[in-house]
Structure 1
Amino acid sequence: MSELPKGMIQTVCGPIDPANLGSTLCHEHLYHEIDGKPFHPRPPNSIHEKLNSSSINAENLWWTTFHPYSHRDNLNYRDREIMNIITDEMKFLKLNGGDSVVEVTTFGKSLPELKAMSVKSGVNIIAGAGFYVESAMPSHVVQYTTEQIYNEIQSDLLVGVNGIKCGVIGEIASDWPINPFERRALVASAQVQHELGVPVILHPGRNPDAPTEIMRIFLESGGKADKTVMSHLDRTLNDEELLEFARIGCLSEFDLFGSECSYYELSDAFDMPNDATRIRRLKLLIDNGFGHRITISHDIHTKHRLMKYGGHGFSHIHMNVVPKMKMRGYSDQHITDILVNNPKQWLTLVKMDKLKTSKNGISFRDTDVLMNTTGANVENVLGIKKTTLLVKLNKSESIRLSIDWIHNLIFYNFNDKIIAFNLTQPLYGYIVVNEMIFNSILDLCVNPLDSQLFWSVSDNSFNRRGKIMRASEDGSNQTLLIDTDIKEPITLAIDLVIKRLYWIDRALFQIYSIDFNGNDLKSIHKSHQLFKLSFYMIVFHDDIYWSNYYHSSILKMNKFGLNNTQISYLVRTETGSDIESIRIIDPYLQPYSTNRCLHSKCSHLCLPMSDRQYHCVCPQINFNTHLYPNIDCVDKLNERLRATQRSLPQFKPIEFEMINSETYRLINSNPLISTDMSVGMDSQNPNFDHQTDNSYK
């Protein structure tokens, strides 16, 4: 599969510079094969059957205007005559100032037809990928899993048909209430958007609660509000509801311009507004600060709205609505934002945020919050008075930390290495593990009670082979625990009570566990959507907690797979926030033991070993001098002088400009990412009173 052209807009004729998008209609249909299947209008009186079955003409247009979904010929939107008519309308749109159209058909589209229209008319066409309401889909499609939906949407974006690719996801449609297939489509769309940075457009059911509920599902699944349009709000929400919904942060779309008939055949609960009302209500959004979050269109998908059949056509907004907006107090900038700038921001393909190093507590991208295990905010209860910046690393290096609280050691990974240093004297670093250059260390954890270090590895080959290793904290006695049935063990957590390791395999979408010797492999749970983009996990009492980017949540389940593998959503973050790490601070997780290095008399760094010995090591990194340490140091094992010093692998030391000896603040010449460490302990046992959500089982 090819990659998406980041920073560009993907049309059916290929990528274009966003500066060339121009004035854009963000919700139209130029071809579809729906034939009225998903529409359920009130049945008209049988005496008018002739009006429903005859072709559209001047004699029955009045009937079709009021009954557009009952008139069968009105829904024929795919034969060659219609394609020629719509192509002519695209040419007319171009003459009247329209430059681009977002074609959101997800119920029988034809990418070759759309490309032909674009070439003939000169209008940019951005095609939509995805699925419409369940009732419009073939029976076999309704049975698709979330993963199958995800793969099909991704294929439309990256592969396409004969090289013709979609550039937007949607319209992703839902009835009310939302049924399981439509929910899966929402989740899959959010996941694809999270991974590829593509725009999404959503279609709500005909109920005022529908837009908010759809966005809740979408955002919890990893979607991004500022790259998402909610359609049809002019027929769904009143003024108060509209302003409340706009605060979610997605783009609000009024896309039924030209529909001047208050009679709405698909729902007796709505009186369809006219254009004057739409213009007034959009001005309400602008006056309340949401002018940068508005898109508009006509949503033409039936014959009677085309100019050929007496309708307003695709040029109505440019010819009639824009002049009316200016009469009602819209500035030129307001109109440019609605038709040009907002669509450009929405449709431009972006690179999604990279993972960052987390700070103490639970990290929400730009905000650090400490919570207890029920999700309640317990910020400041730890009495932390001082935060010490120990290390700053390059932004490209996503590191993991593990702390030996008994011996005051920090272990972190840097590329294919694990480095150790002492919390009380972080001047010197020592390379404990040096993996092969083609391997990536994904996570690590330490068992201070037995002075054991565990780490997970994945190679960079196409097939992704993984493994989990164990060693003493000085890197000696390295032992392979598992390298079969494992690909990408992105997380690693330790249970000191029952002496087991847990990990999430992001490639196999499962949680596994083994004992400390690599035996008794168990699969706890498997789920594509829960584990595809997980980042951190921890085991506490009888439960596993992990962070998941798709759901912007901390999730929880029984570590033995009991309770029917019930999944609890412990924390859900605000829109656009990613949970990057979890730290539970509790005596249960930090049992007391003897510090074997307390009286070691090591000149620089003491590392405990699993056989109850300790190792006085010579540092390989000097954060103060920039250079390989040139110091008076003897490498000793358990205070007995060894005959030869340990052979040290070649390693370019991390370079820092200066050190403040009072606070051990190490300042990089190019500080991009920091890891802030503080030490505290909560003596209270956590309360597990929380809400449970089984919807993603």
Structure 2
Amino acid sequence: MAAAPAVRFLALCVSLLLSVGGNASEPPDPENAPALSGAELNWTMSCRGCHGTNAEGTEGGAPNMAGQVSRFLKVEGGRQYLVRVPGVAFASLSDAEVAELMNWMLWKFDKENIPDSFSPYDEKEVGRLREKPLLTSVAEVRRELILKIDDTPGPDHIGKVLTVTGAIEPDRLGETLMHEHLFIDFWLPADEPARWNQLFGRTPPTSPEQLKAWRQPLTMHNRTGMAARLWANRDAFTLDSLQDALDEVSDFRELGGGAIVDVTSIGLNRQPEKLKEVSERTGVRIVMGTGYYRTAWHPVTLMDMSVRDLALRMYEDITVGVNGTTVKAGIIGEIPIEKITSAEPVTGESKVLRAAAMASSWTGAAISIHSDFYDMSKLTLALDLLERDGADLSRVILGHISNAAVADLAFLEGLLQRGVFLQFDVFGNPWQLSMNDLRGAEAILSLVEKGYSKQILVSHDLCTKFQLTRFGGFGLKYVHTVLLPYFRDQGMTEAQIDDIMTGNPARVLPLSRPWKSPH
């Protein structure tokens, strides 16, 4: 589900604020205007709970206004839009009060982006605009304005990798893990059995004993039993600790790691600012993902959204920033394919896949696919659908290959011959038998021997507390401490290992074309 527009949340806050005095003809300075203390107090009482103390917003809720909202003043129709949104147009405030609050918020939260030519809102203008409220097309109008704001060729991004700290040359990535989750929250509520059923027919905990296990914190004492019953504990499916992320990424860096791709999807508690902090503090490059995950986690409104709406949300994450921040996504994914179909009725996952192809054509970003762990037959269909919708298959990564498909090398070769990357990315997971790791490694060795070293990627899919080092897992270390030594023992050359760890990420992650408008 596309996040609610920043300016709409701004408008909703305006509608809650009490009246404040002052002259709307001059833009007030919130740092030096004691008369505005009432507005600041009302912000604290009425808006901070949704937007945060500094208007930074929340994942899946109110988007960030800081450093963003004044950008709308730079494009035709943007100034008018800020007042015509329903929350402002129908606010129980006088036109003069709305004008003053609009001016104050623009200066408070996005002073740097206010155009030199800006003239403050006044009572007359606000009154005229409020007579023409937007009633049914708020989200679409906002998206079109964003496209105008960012409708530039983007020459500085062509051939570069978009990380959470900015665009970089691909040769600065280094050894890269292509599919991880440093921050994620994807447990399902125990009182929503329909969503559990969408996850391979699972059932939620219901008995007192099951619910007790479900609700207790994961510890080293109960870890083994919980890992054996993968979905038995809610806490295991929440990664929200900055310190845990710093520890794991630092360990990866000490082993020679250079970059990580975090493919946490929309609605799974993405943390753009935390990812940026981890990158800045460890020196490891981080590429952030955008997209929608499996059906059980789809927002209830997804089936009412058009493919273009879904694609526009991904486009906005890449060209503008995630959740209203300036932290940009650099890859589309992970995108599920378990429930895709080429026939009617179109499923939610089919719509998301089409949207991924559309967003990739607009941005040049690669697409990372979440394959069905148990049924690889959907891979061929996914590629057919992506190709039909104009996706460049050389920009497509087929993930989670380290399962059923490794038994059929001819099938994997057929996929590789279509130009895609194969990603073996569940190495070291506690719920995978060691033989599965061995089969995945042997499949990679066979494919490399056949000449496909430039189309292979590896990773761990860190996504649960079970996998963290402090809970006895491998963290982000298995590839470097177990897999790569095994490859060397089996005769894989350093050049081939370099392809897998460094060269291939540097080939697939750079944006392949200028950003273009989806008009």
Instruction: Give the alignment's TM-score, normalised by structure 2.
Output: 0.63
- The answer to which of 330-339 and 33-42 deviates more is 33-42
The residue correspondences of 1:224-239 to structure 2 (distance < 5 A) are 224-237=392-405, 238-239=407-408
Q: Which amino acid aligns with 1:85?
A: D
1:301 match: 463
Choose which of 46, 62, 65 in structure 1 pairs with 2:227.
Answer: 65
Choose which of 253, 257, 264 in structure 1 pairs with 2:423.
Answer: 253
Q: Which amino acid aligns with 2:280?
A: V
Deviations 1:424-463, CA, capped at 9 Å, x for gaps: xxxxxxxxxxxxxxxxxxxxxxxxxxxxxxxxxxxxxx9x
Q: In 2, Cα distance between the equivalents of 1:142 and 1:87?
A: 37
Instruction: Say whether 1:191 aligns with 2:350.
Output: no
1:623 match: none
Deviations 1:167-225, CA, capped at 9 Å, x for gaps: 11111113235452211111121122223221111112341211111111111101111
Report SS of the residue matched to 1:139. coil
Q: In 2, Cα distance between the equivalents of 1:353 and 1:143?
A: 27
Q: How far 1:142 moved relative to its partner?
A: 3.6
Q: In 1, Cα distance between the equivalents of 2:180 and 2:304?
A: 28
Quick one: structure 1 residues 210 and 48, their matched pair in 2 at CA, closer, same or farther if it must change by over 3 Å? farther
Q: In 2, Cα distance between the equivalents of 1:192 and 1:31?
A: 24
Choose which of 378, 384, 399 in structure 2 pairs with 1:216.
Answer: 384
1:110 match: 271
Alignment RMSD, CA only?
A: 2.5
Q: How far 1:282 moved relative to its partner?
A: 0.5
2:173 match: 21
Q: In 2, Cα distance between the equivalents of 1:62 and 1:332?
A: 37
Structure 2 unaligned runs (5+)?
Answer: 1-149, 190-194
Structure 1 unaligned runs (5+)?
Answer: 264-271, 355-461, 463-505, 508-697
Instruction: Say whether 1:167 aligns with 2:330.
Output: yes
Q: In 2, Cα distance between the equivalents of 1:84 and 1:282?
A: 33
Instruction: Say whether 1:89 aligns with 2:248.
Output: yes
Report SS of the residue matched to 1:233. coil
Quick one: structure 1 residues 58 and 251, their matched pair in 2 at CA, closer, same or farther if it must change by over 3 Å? same
1:349 match: 511
Choose which of 259, 284, 307 in structure 1 pairs with 2:446.
Answer: 284
Q: Which amino acid aligns with 2:261?
A: V
2:11 match: none
Residue 144 of structure 1 contacts residue 181 of structure 1 at CA under 8 Å; is this kept in 2? no
Q: In 1, Cα distance between the equivalents of 2:497 and 2:514?
A: 29
Q: Which amino acid aligns with 2:361?
A: H
Aligned identity (percent) is 25
Residue 258 of structure 1 contacts residue 298 of structure 1 at CA under 8 Å; is this kept in 2? yes
Report SS of the residue matched to 2:451. coil
Q: In 2, Cα distance between the equivalents of 1:262 and 1:165?
A: 33
The residue correspondences of 1:376-455 to structure 2 (distance < 5 A) are none
Instruction: Say whether 1:244 aligns with 2:414.
Output: yes
Deviations 1:659-696, CA, capped at 9 Å, x for gaps: xxxxxxxxxxxxxxxxxxxxxxxxxxxxxxxxxxxxxx
Q: Which amino acid aligns with 1:192?
A: A
1:143 match: 304
The residue correspondences of 1:552-563 to structure 2 (distance < 5 A) are none
Q: In 2, Cα distance between the equivalents of 1:51 and 1:218?
A: 42
Deviations 1:525-575, CA, capped at 9 Å, x for gaps: xxxxxxxxxxxxxxxxxxxxxxxxxxxxxxxxxxxxxxxxxxxxxxxxxxx
Number of equivalences: 346
Residue 259 of structure 1 contacts residue 274 of structure 1 at CA under 8 Å; is this kept in 2? no
Report SS of the residue matched to 1:298. coil
Report SS of the residue matched to 2:504. helix
Report SS of the residue matched to 2:232. coil
Q: In 1, Cα distance between the equivalents of 2:294 and 2:283?
A: 31
Quick one: structure 1 residues 33 and 59, their matched pair in 2 at CA, closer, same or farther if it must change by over 3 Å? closer
Report SS of the residue matched to 1:274. helix
Q: How far 1:92 moved relative to its partner?
A: 1.4
Q: In 2, Cα distance between the equivalents of 1:30 and 1:95?
A: 17
2:107 match: none
Quick one: structure 1 residues 45 and 284, their matched pair in 2 at CA, closer, same or farther if it must change by over 3 Å? farther
Q: Which amino acid aligns with 2:357?
A: A
Q: In 2, Cα distance between the equivalents of 1:217 and 1:294?
A: 22
Residue 143 of structure 1 contacts residue 181 of structure 1 at CA under 8 Å; is this kept in 2? no
Q: How far 1:86 moved relative to its partner?
A: 1.3
Quick one: structure 1 residues 248 and 5, their matched pair in 2 at CA, closer, same or farther if it must change by over 3 Å? same
Q: In 2, Cα distance between the equivalents of 1:341 and 1:120?
A: 25
Q: Which amino acid aligns with 1:164?
A: V
2:285 match: 124
The residue correspondences of 1:465-504 to structure 2 (distance < 5 A) are none
Report SS of the residue matched to 2:335. strand
Q: How far 1:248 moved relative to its partner?
A: 2.1
Report SS of the residue matched to 1:321. helix
Choose which of 185, 188, 197 in structure 2 pairs with 1:36.
Answer: 188
Residue 7 of structure 1 contacts residue 348 of structure 1 at CA under 8 Å; is this kept in 2? yes
Q: In 1, Cα distance between the equivalents of 2:303 and 2:371?
A: 18
Q: How far 1:120 moved relative to its partner?
A: 1.4
Report SS of the residue matched to 2:402. helix
Q: How far 1:350 moved relative to its partner?
A: 1.6
Q: In 2, Cα distance between the equivalents of 1:339 and 1:101?
A: 11
Quick one: structure 1 residues 327 and 93, their matched pair in 2 at CA, closer, same or farther if it must change by over 3 Å? same
Q: Which amino acid aligns with 1:29?
A: H
1:652 match: none
Residue 230 of structure 2 contacts residue 431 of structure 2 at CA under 8 Å; is this kept in 1? no
Q: How far 1:261 moved relative to its partner?
A: 3.9
2:319 match: 158
Q: How far 1:10 moved relative to its partner?
A: 0.6
Deviations 1:264-313, CA, capped at 9 Å, x for gaps: xxxxxxxx853222111111111222111100000010001000111110
Quick one: structure 1 residues 214 and 165, their matched pair in 2 at CA, closer, same or farther if it must change by over 3 Å? same
Deviations 1:472-511, CA, capped at 9 Å, x for gaps: xxxxxxxxxxxxxxxxxxxxxxxxxxxxxxxxxx96xxxx
Q: In 1, Cα distance between the equivalents of 2:447 and 2:246?
A: 34
Q: In 2, Cα distance between the equivalents of 1:245 and 1:66?
A: 33
Q: Which amino acid aligns with 1:239?
A: D
Q: Which has the higher strand share?
A: 1
Q: In 2, Cα distance between the equivalents of 1:93 and 1:101?
A: 9
Instruction: Say whether 1:101 aligns with 2:260.
Output: yes
Q: In 2, Cα distance between the equivalents of 1:204 and 1:261?
A: 17
Q: Which amino acid aligns with 2:408?
A: D
Report SS of the residue matched to 2:474. coil
Instruction: Give the alignment's TM-score, normalised by structure 1.
Output: 0.47
Q: Which has the higher helix share?
A: 2
Report SS of the residue matched to 2:463. coil
Q: How far 1:246 moved relative to its partner?
A: 2.2
**Higher RCO (C-alpha under 8 Å, 6+ residues apart):** 2
Q: Which amino acid aligns with 2:332?
A: I
